[in-house]
Amino acid sequence: MTLSLSRASLLTRAAALATSAAIAQASQQPAASIAHPALWPSVNAQPKRDPRIEKRIDALLKSMSVEDKVGQLIQVDIGSIKPADVVTYKIGSILNGGNSGPYDDEYASPAKWMSLADEFYDASMQRNDNGPKIPIIWGTDSVHGNNNIVGATLFPHNIGLGAARDRDLIRKIGEITALETAAAGLDWTFAPTLAVVQDDRWGRTYESYGEEPQIAADYAGAMIEGVQGKVGTKDFLSPTHLIATTKHFLGDGGTGGKDQGDTVVSEEILRDVHLGGYPAAIEAGTQSVMASFSSWNGEKMSGNKSLLTDVLKDRMHFDGFVVGDWNSHGQVAGCSNEDCPQAINAGLDMFMYSGPKWKDLYANTLREAKDGTISAARLDDAVRRILRVKFRAGTFDRGRPSARAAAGKFAVIGSAEHRAVARQAVRESLVLLKNEGVLPLKPNANILVAGPAAQSISQQAGGWSITWQGADVPNSAFPNAESIWQGISETVKAGGGAATYSADGSFTKKPDAAIVVFGEQPYAEFKGDRPTLEYNPGDTTDRNMLRKLKAAGVPVVAVFLSGRPLWVNAELNASDAFIAAFLPGSEGGGVADVLFARPDGGVNQDFRGKLSFSWPKRPDQYVLNRRDPNYDPLFAFGYGLSYAAPGKVGQLDETRPAGMADGVPGTFFGKGRLPTGWSIDAGKVAQANVDRRAQEDSKRFTWSQPGVVTITAPKPIDLSRESNGEISLVMDYRVGAKPTGPVTLGIRSGGKTVSVAIGKTLAAAAPGEWQTIAVPLQCFATRGANMAAIVVPFVLEGGAPLSLVISDIKLDYVSMPMGQCGD
């Protein structure tokens, strides 16, 4: 969509700019962050308001106290709230964050999810004061299936679906996701993501359908209809469907590859690129919109009235509710996680809160509603929007979650029918980047399958799979899934051939062909951000395996798992065929469907995927989009070979450019190494290299007197975003000699060391056994550390007797009790 600037529109723009300058001067908001609604499209929002529902809302609002109304504005993570709290505070919504499960069990059965949903619902309907009974709603991140629940069908992440270019498939995926989520008793999903990612270093690139807004526009309506049902039919928000969330409004894909960053673009680019699928989603009836963590030209979206209210609600006529992201309101200027009337006044209707102090947020918001800081009209508008969605979704009329039509039908979760659709999605999402005549493979051949990723369902599923980051989840947590190796093995066995799995690619009998499965380890936001697009810098394991097999005369087929385009020129050169498989989800068998021919030699399934993101020639091509000047990709947007339309890829340049930005590494010490330019100083503490997983991959530190071990970065690093996102400083260690005195773990910024005590934890550890200790970065931030300028991100201080072997020091998510900081 590009707006033509006629004389009239130019005059409108001039008037709007004058108005924004006046607003900026009055509010101290940057003028460049004030949107002008007249420049944005007017949308035919659906569904139209039902007078009967509006009448019910009017009556309900009259019967609600201010306390009742404020409760509706707050959503709390289930890790921080109990059903008994809802009886008292009448909270309007709960969510399970990426690592929150029912009864503190990340691997809880669907029955446990439904049981807890009943408990919260019952609590919301319990009144002893004759006040109105308003059912609570439960939101969850069902972003590629009901991905929080063991056994659910997991679809390819959005980057793969973007390559499929199949609206009907998208709609079906939405329907299945809704049904499998409703079966567990939940009401609402925080999906779809409509980010139009412009810098692929961002750790959420895989949540985007593509770099072009048109793909999001094509898919948005179909996914909303799949999740919610079609407006105007009995299917709309029926018991087999969910409330959908369109996110993250607005510009989340333009932050320069930094999560929670700042999208510094003109209003025209914000509209023409990043608005993407929002008009289509609103026309399809999306009932909630999530405000982005990010900023636009310096103003946090959760506090930007010109966009949340003036554009989204007034100009585009969205009449559902706006929910914040994970404590995103706390980043608005002048706010904290526990106090932010600015966000409500800007147009946020519901806080999303995680942490132990949600009662403080409730109390502060209540005070501000009573003293007029939040006007009665704004409070009623926010509550009206939330109630409107609850009425439309039938939550007032359908009773307990377990009593609803779709609830408790656990057989649909991971059903054969649903998995067949997911397998189809895998086939359609695969993009063939290179094929030098080796594909399709014969099913009666002798096939070697190599690489640990071939056996890892968590790696093929990616982030947001059972856990937030998705890493290190055992295959047993995916009981209905099939690994890529399993799919290949079954196909070859059925074809009369032989398939052998070897993690390191070794073999005794030379195979007819080798399929090497490798790629990125799972990640989500924060952890997934990276400084360049170089695949596995400093680690040549996968590349060497490919080269070794090719040198042995074995035809090599590379299946690459990734959540974004990456610089893999060396790996492409070492392969005869190369498939971008992205993050295919639970149905690894879909890969084999396309790689192998039929027994008669004909094509079984052809490749049909086309790149929705451009792939780089160099690892420093961070911004590489079709609409950019000097566009020069290795593989352009829309590229994709097939058996019907083959092509050749020549020898590629493997030279790594000098002077690339290094960014903040996720690992400060690992595999016996430090990041380039970093240093370790043990001072008076004796150190020696020792073995854990490999030769000299760890260090032993022995204190014979008081001493400090530090790891220093070459320049200050910014960990402020990570401290907002429940990331921890993590250390893997083994105790030799237990401490008898104090031991602290900390960080240093501006000459100030901020530490927490860990001596009791170390003293309680079993000697000789590997342990992990994690200190949330929030602990350092709340003690006064300047998280934006950390010079020494690791400070370990102790005294004799103490001996530790340390193998890994990194930033990571580790599930810990809320508020736990050291001993």
Average pLDDT over residues 91-95: 98
**Looking at residue 664, what is its pLDDT?**
73
Phi, psi torsion values for 334, nearest 5 degrees: 85, 5
Instruction: Tell me the per-residue pLDDT of 406-456, one tens digit each, with 9 for 90 and over.
Output: 999 999 999 999 999 999 999 999 999 999 999 999 999 999 999 999 999
Average pLDDT over residues 81-108: 95
Dist. CA 111–CA 128, nearest whole Å: 29
The two structure tokens encoding residue 653: 């340049």
**Looking at residue 171, what is its pLDDT?**
98
Q: How far lies 23's CA from each of 16, 35, 43, 334, 441, in Å? A: 10, 11, 25, 18, 65
Quick one: what percent of the chain has pLDDT higher than 90?
A: 87
Q: Is the pLDDT of residue 10 over 70?
A: no
Instruction: Tell me the per-residue pLDDT of 297-319, one tens digit each, with 9 for 90 and over.
Output: 999 999 999 999 999 999 999 99
Average pLDDT over residues 348-369: 97
Q: How far lies 20's CA from each of 15, 35, 249, in Å? A: 9, 8, 20
Dist. CA 749–CA 782, nearest whole Å: 14
Q: Is the pLDDT of residue 233 over 90?
A: yes
| Bridge-based pairing state of the strands 707-712 and 792-798 | antiparallel
The two structure tokens encoding residue 453: 């990723």
Catalytic residue among 119, 207, 349, 525: 525
Is 593 a residue of the active site?
Answer: no
**Looking at residue 479, what is its pLDDT?**
97
Burial class (CB in 10 A: 0-12, 13-18, 19+), 768: exposed
**Looking at residue 77, what is its pLDDT?**
97
Instruction: Tell me the per-residue pLDDT of 363-401, one tens digit each, with 9 for 90 and over.
Output: 999 999 999 999 999 999 999 999 999 999 999 999 999
User: H-helix or E-strand containing 679?
Assistant: strand 679-681
**610: β partners:** none
Q: Is the pLDDT of residue 87 over 90?
A: yes
User: H-helix or E-strand containing 776?
Assistant: strand 770-776
- Residue 158 CA, distance from chain mean position: 11
Burial class (CB in 10 A: 0-12, 13-18, 19+), 63: exposed
Three-class SS of residue 758?
coil
Quick one: what percent of the chain has pLDDT higher than 70?
A: 96
- For tokens 């009666």, the residue is 444
Confidence of residue 815 (pLDDT cuts 50, 70, 90): low
Dist. CA 322–CA 247, nearest whole Å: 10
- For tokens 């446990």, the residue is 112
Is 525 a residue of the active site?
Answer: yes
Dist. CA 594–CA 512, nearest whole Å: 18
Confidence of residue 538 (pLDDT cuts 50, 70, 90): confident
The two structure tokens encoding residue 643: 């058996």
Dist. CA 358–CA 75, nearest whole Å: 9
Count CB-CB contacts under 10 A for residue 499. 22
**Looking at residue 21, what is its pLDDT?**
53
Find all residues with CB under 8 Å of 28, minimum gap 6, and list them. none
Q: Return the sign of the alpha-carbon dihedral for residues 67, 73, 78, 79.
A: negative
Q: How far apart are the first and last CA of the chain?
A: 56
> For residues 691, 694, 696 and 701, what is the CA-based torsion angle, rounded to 10 degrees?
-40
**Looking at residue 19, what is its pLDDT?**
53
pTM: 0.88
**Looking at residue 810, what is its pLDDT?**
93
Q: Return the sign of the alpha-carbon dihedral for residues 468, 470, 475, 478.
A: positive
Phi, psi torsion values for 55, nearest 5 degrees: -65, -40
Catalytic residue among 325, 339, 542, 732: 325
Average pLDDT over residues 481-493: 98
Phi, psi torsion values for 423, nearest 5 degrees: -65, -40
Return the axis-axis angle of helices 51-63 and 376-392, rounded to nearest 10°. 130
- Residue 820's identity, in one-letter code, is Q
The three-state DSSP-derived secondary structure of 225-248 is HHHHCCCCCCCCCCCCCCECEEEE
**Looking at residue 677, what is its pLDDT?**
85
Count CB-CB contacts under 10 A for residue 89. 21
Find all residues with CB under 8 Å of 371, minimum gap 6, and list them. none
Three-class SS of residue 637?
coil
Q: Is the pLDDT of residue 6 over 50?
A: no
**Looking at residue 819, what is its pLDDT?**
47
